[in-house]
Each structure stands twice: as C-alpha cells, then as structure tokens.
Amino acid sequence: MKNTLNLAGKYCAYLRKSRADRDAELRGEEETLKRHHRILAEFAEKNHISITKYYNEVVSGDTIDARPIVQELLADVEAGNWDGVLVVEVERLARGNTKDQGIVSDAFKYSNTKIITPGKIYDPNDEFDEEYFEFGLFMSRREYKTINRRLQRGRIASVKEGKYIGSTAPYGYHKVKIPHNKGYTLEIVPEQADVVRQIFDWYCHGKLQPDGTRQHLGTDMIAARLDSMGIKPSGGASWSKATIADMLRNKTYAGYVFFGKQKDVKTSVNGKIITLRKNNPDYLCVKGIHDAIIDESTFELAATLRRTYRKNTVPSSQVLQNPLSGIVYCKKCGHMMTRLAPNSRNKYSALKCPNRYCNNVSSPIFLVEQQILLFLKNWLDTYELNKAASATDIPVSREIDNKQAAISRIESEIKGLKAQLNKTYDLLEQGIYTVEIFQQRSNLLNQNILQLSESLLLAKDELDRLENLQMEKELYAPKVQFLLQNYHTNGVASNNQILKEVIEKVYYQKDTPNRRGRLNNASFTLEIYPRVPK
C-alpha cells in the first residue's frame, strides 16, 4: 500500500447500498450491507485497524440532501472526530453532482481525514491522491449517468413491447414472468376482477333502486360498501376513497401499460436541491399484452364522471380559504355566496352575494360558521336523546329484519315449487301424468317460480337499499360529532369537505347591516338542510 496507517487513530466505516445492489439482492445475492461489513471488518483486522463505529445508509439518493447518514458522517469528519473512514469504494461516499463531490472532498481535506478502501488509501492532503480521488468521483458520476440512461431505455423498450414494469400488480391482477421471454406481464385474478368491474359499474352507472332508477355511488360510498360486504383490499384491512379513486384512474385496467406518468423536477430552494414529483402529460402509454378487466368506453366514462363530480372548486395552485365554499346560497337570488377577503375597511373575511343587483347584506364568515355549528350541535343533542329514549332496535333495523324474513320466505317458496316441478317429471315418467297435464302443471309452476324470482330480486334490492341507509345513518352522527370536536384544529379544506358531507345546502338572508359596534350580532337568517339519510 502507498500509505501507512496511524494504528492509534480513530476509525469508522461507511456502508451504503446502490440501486444495482438492490437488484442483485432481488436475484438472490447476499444482502449488500452485510457483505460490505464483512469485507471491511476482515480488512481492518488484517491491518490492525479498530473500527469503533459503522454508519449504515439504507437509502439510495442521488444527492447528499437525500442521504441523512452521510450528512451525519460528514459532520463528524468536519468536527475532526475521525482519523480515517473505511469504505468499500470511494464512489459510495459521493456519486452525486459536482457540488456534492466538492462537499465530500473539502470535508476530508480540511479535517485531514483519510479515506481507506481495500484497494487504496487516499490522503486528501496529498496532491496526487486528491486528484486521483476527484477523478474517481468524476468517473463514478459518468458511470452512474450511463447506467441510469441504459436502465431507462430498457424500461421504455419493455413498455413499448406491452410488458408490465411496475413493482407490484394492481388489485385484480397477479404479476407473472413471461414464458420463454424477458420481462413480466399481468394475469387476471377472477374474484378480484369481479370486484374491479363492480367498482366501475357502481361509479359509472350507479346502484339499481327499487323504482328502476340508479343512485350514483361516489368513492367514499363505494369504499364503505366494499367494507360492509367483507371484501378486503390488497395489503390492507379496509378500503379508502383514495384507493378507489386511484383504481378509477388506473388505465392498466383498460389493458394499457405506461411509463413516466410522473416526472421528477429538481429546483433550488435556499441553496438546496428540492425534487418535486409532477404529472407528465406526455407520458408513454401503449396497449399491454395483458387482458383488460374494464373496456375502454367504461374507463373513459369514469374519467368524465370524475371531472363532473370533482368537489374541489379551488385551483390546485391556490389554498382554500372559505370553509363554507359551495355550501351557502343567497336566499334572495339563489347565487352561491362567496368570500370577501379582509380589506382596509373590514378586518375580517365576509360572506357576500356575488350578484351586484342583489341587496342581500354580507356578514362575517365566522358568525355564519358559529350558527351552522350551533345548528349541528343541537341536531346531535336531539339525536342522542332520541337514541337513548328509543328501543335498541331502530325502525330501519326492524325493516331490514322484516325484509330478510321475506327473502327467506320467498326462497323457501321457490325451493318448494322447484321440488314440485321435479315431481311432475317423475309423474310423467311413471305414466301418471299425460303429456298435456305435465305441460299444464310445469307451465304453471314455472310461471310461479318466475314471478317469485322477480319478487326475490326486488326484495334483495330493497334490502341493499335499507342496509345502505342504515350504514349512512350510523355514519352521519359520528361525522357531525367529529366535525364539532375538531373544527378549530382542522384545516379549512378539511372542514369544508366534512361540512359538504353533513349539510346539503344553506340559504342565507340578511336585510339590514349591523350598527357600529355590533359586529358580533348574528342578525341574519339561515335555512339549513342537513344531508341526513332518509
């Protein structure tokens, strides 16, 4: 070796796995950090070096900012805590941009800390070692970019061939190796695929009602309905509206594969490189070799409905400031009330009618909020009193029991008629029934079975409706209670969302302005229509 070691010094080791290491581990190779620990420990023992601390980096980031352990190491190096740092190769310290490489180089140079690898010892105050170290980092960066470009080209080529490159398969599919070929594709899981189709059907066409109409089910209601049916999502105990929304947006279900749907955009903020993930409108999307679960027309219909039912009326670049947005309407002209920001005359946000020809007088938003919350509190108190005073079996529950009993009765009658129908075949074979009598009896029995089957379908639909109603009623009061308990700690957007879930609409009217000094006087009237399930 070129350099000699100060055996009395203090030494540590830095371990980090790269993306290539993770890929190797997936192929069954030894865990990287464990292998590197063994290599450095054997090297240190052979050279009589005592390693007193190991810095284990378990994340792989392009920059120092994304690697907290190397930040800790460099801080200790700059503080002069170490005489040398052992690494498997110098590239493990910095494979980032020129700025990062300079930070690493300066930290070791000005603290006079050696970098020790099994192949070479780098003394940062030796001119030749310094150049060799910097050249090694430069070549490492070029190698990293080359490998990354090659990897991206391979992924793009796989997608263009219709292969699936995601790490895990979406619900409804298994990820399978393509026989006699490189890459993976998706294979349908029949029972999960049925759930996916049902989700799209509920969202696109609604749930069939007893009167023949269909009720649209949003993502929240779909998630609750799946939970009530005992259906479990992949890797979770219950469904969420976010999961349902992601499924409705996932074009994999329509038979497509894609790459680059989101792209990393780097920007400098206060001298630090920040990476933001943004949607990429020009992402690669091609027809996959896997079978679709949903046809394209259904997927496009779901996309159209998502835009139609989108509740957020605030551009994504702005922050919602009106907790009553989309809830309060002018009683006089019907326009949706809007927020008037504080100005030189008014030090508070006000609720006003945007119609310039309407004489409805504005009020502070906080006063309208107070009255709405008071209404909800009174409703909740009344609900709790009625619930405590009533029998444990609420009317909806009794209706459900009655409907379940009716379904059992109908099913029993159908079973009996089918037994009679089978008996007519026996009587025909035994010669007791003539063909004419058999036809008369079988036709009558089949007609009765058909009528009862139709009644059974209607009864089951009505049972579904009652169960949904019961579920919605059971969820309504807890939502109101949660809102009241957390209103002043929740954010504006969160309060607005929950208010929309518990209140259908509020009509506001005020005829005369408050007199000076009577700002807190709620001299307006509200007509509040709660979204209580009926």
pLDDT in tens, 173-196: 999 999 888 889 999 999 999 999
Give the pLDDT score at 20.
57
Distances (CA, A) of 274 to 25, 269, 507: 29, 7, 46
- Please name every residue paired with 272 in a beta bridge, in sequence order, or none if there are none: 269
- Please name every residue paired with 42 in a beta bridge, in sequence order, or none if there are none: none
Query: In sequence order, which residues have a C-beta less than 8 Å from that of residue 345 and are 6 or more positions away?
Result: none
The answer to whether residue 316 scores a pLDDT higher than 50 is no
User: For the segment 492-516, what is each residue's pLDDT rounded down to a tens digit?
Assistant: 888 888 898 888 899 999 998 887 7
Q: Which amino acid is at 25?
A: E
Give the pLDDT score at 483.
87
Distances (CA, A) of 10 to 2, 44, 82, 83: 20, 12, 5, 5
Q: How far apart are CA 417 and CA 394, in angstroms?
A: 35
Quick one: which of 159, 148, 143 has its CA closest to 91? 143
The answer to whether residue 401 scores a pLDDT higher than 90 is no
Helix boundaries (H) for 52-189: 68-78, 98-111, 127-160
User: For the segment 369-395, what is each residue's pLDDT rounded down to a tens digit?
Assistant: 999 999 999 888 887 766 655 444 456
Q: What is the mean pLDDT of the chain?
A: 81
| Kind of pairing between the strands at 284-287 and 272-279 | unpaired
**Which carries the bigger pLDDT value, residue 430 or residue 365?**
365
The answer to whether residue 2 scores a pLDDT higher than 50 is no
Neighbours of 283 (CB within 10 A): 13
Return the H-helix or E-strand segment holding 297.
helix 296-309
Give the pLDDT score at 190.
92
Q: Encode burial over 456-471: b for 16+ CB neighbours within 10 A, e otherwise.
A: beebebbbbbbbbebb
Q: What is the mean pLDDT of residues 285-310?
A: 87
Backbone angles phi, psi at 525, to 5 degrees: -115, 145
Give the pLDDT score at 167.
82
The answer to whether residue 344 scores a pLDDT higher than 80 is no
Pick the CATH number of 11-160 from 3.30.200.20, 3.40.50.1390, 1.10.10.10, 3.40.50.620: 3.40.50.1390
Q: What is the mean pLDDT of residues 121-143?
A: 73
Give the pLDDT score at 276.
62
Cα–chain-centroid distance for residue 113? Answer: 46
Give the pLDDT score at 85.
94
User: For the segment 61-73, what is each residue's pLDDT rounded down to a tens digit?
Assistant: 667 777 888 889 9
Backbone angles phi, psi at 285, to 5 degrees: -140, 120
Q: How far apart are CA 351 and CA 328, in angstroms?
A: 9
Return the H-helix or E-strand segment holding 116.
strand 114-116
Q: How far apart are CA 514 and CA 507, in angstroms?
A: 19
User: For the segment 78-96, what is each residue's pLDDT rounded down to a tens digit?
Assistant: 999 999 999 988 877 876 6
Residue 28 pLDDT class (50, 70, 90 cuts) = very low
The answer to whether residue 238 scores a pLDDT higher than 80 is yes
Q: How far apart are CA 55 and CA 37, in angstroms?
A: 10
Highest mean pLDDT among 23-27, 51-55, 213-217, 444-448: 51-55
Give the pLDDT score at 312.
47
Backbone angles phi, psi at 303, to 5 degrees: -65, -40
Q: In the numeric block, which tokens belong to residue 439? A: 């036809």
Give the pLDDT score at 433.
84
Give the pLDDT score at 313.
47
Residue 262 pLDDT class (50, 70, 90 cuts) = confident
| Helix, strand, coil tally for the chain in percent (to 5) | 50, 15, 35
The answer to whether residue 220 scores a pLDDT higher than 80 is yes
Q: How far apart are CA 522 and CA 363, in angstroms?
A: 8
Which CATH architecture describes the domain 173-309? Answer: Alpha-Beta Complex (3.90)
The domain ranges of the chain are 11-160, 173-309, 328-390+484-530, 395-463
Weakest mean pLDDT among 39-48, 74-83, 149-158, 486-495: 149-158
Contact 176, 186 (CB under 8 A): yes
Length of the chain as a residue count:
534
User: For the segment 425-451, what is each residue's pLDDT rounded down to a tens digit?
Assistant: 888 888 888 888 888 888 888 888 888
Contact 51, 13 (CB under 8 A): yes
Contact 173, 196 (CB under 8 A): no
**Which carries the bigger pLDDT value, residue 270 or residue 489?**
489
- Please name every residue paired with 256 in a beta bridge, in sequence order, or none if there are none: 287
